[in-house]
Amino acid sequence: MYSLGVRRQFSARHYLIDGDWGEENIEHSHLYRMELVLHGKELDRHGFLADIVEVERHLDDVTAGFREKTFNSLPAFAGSNPSIERLAAVLHDIFRKRFESFRLEAITVTIWEDDIAWTSYHDTL
């Protein structure tokens, strides 16, 4: 199985709901680092799992929709806690749809919240 990974950073805001998490209940900012890893068994005629330039274009488009936003105000987080776990799943779903035409076996999205915590969401296609 081949894997291709690409990273991006973006700042965004959130606040936790439905619990007492102290300062986390107050709107605050994080510098998020996202790593997208595509997995597949077959390379294309050029010897690529996916064209990195095309993957980067998708990555830039998607992260632009989150950059400097407050997650709580986005439809993807309506009524739910905007945790990094949920962010990874939301991003995974977006990339799954964007890469439907690729010959992939799985996608992994890993999110670092600042440099202290990370989570990963992985699913087969």
- What pTM was estimated for this model as a whole? 0.95
| Counted domains in the chain | 1
> Please, what is the average pLDDT of the chain?
96
- Which CATH number belongs to the domain containing residue 67 in this structure? 3.30.479.10
Give the residue among 125, 97, 120 at the shortest CA–CA distance from 5.
120
Q: In percent, how much of the chain has pLDDT > 70?
A: 100
- For 39-48, how does the pLDDT look when each residue is reduced to its tens digit (9 = 90+)? 999 999 999 9
Section 47-74 average pLDDT: 97
CA nearest neighbour of 119 among 71, 82, 66:
82
Range of the domain at 6: 2-124
Range 32-44 average pLDDT: 97
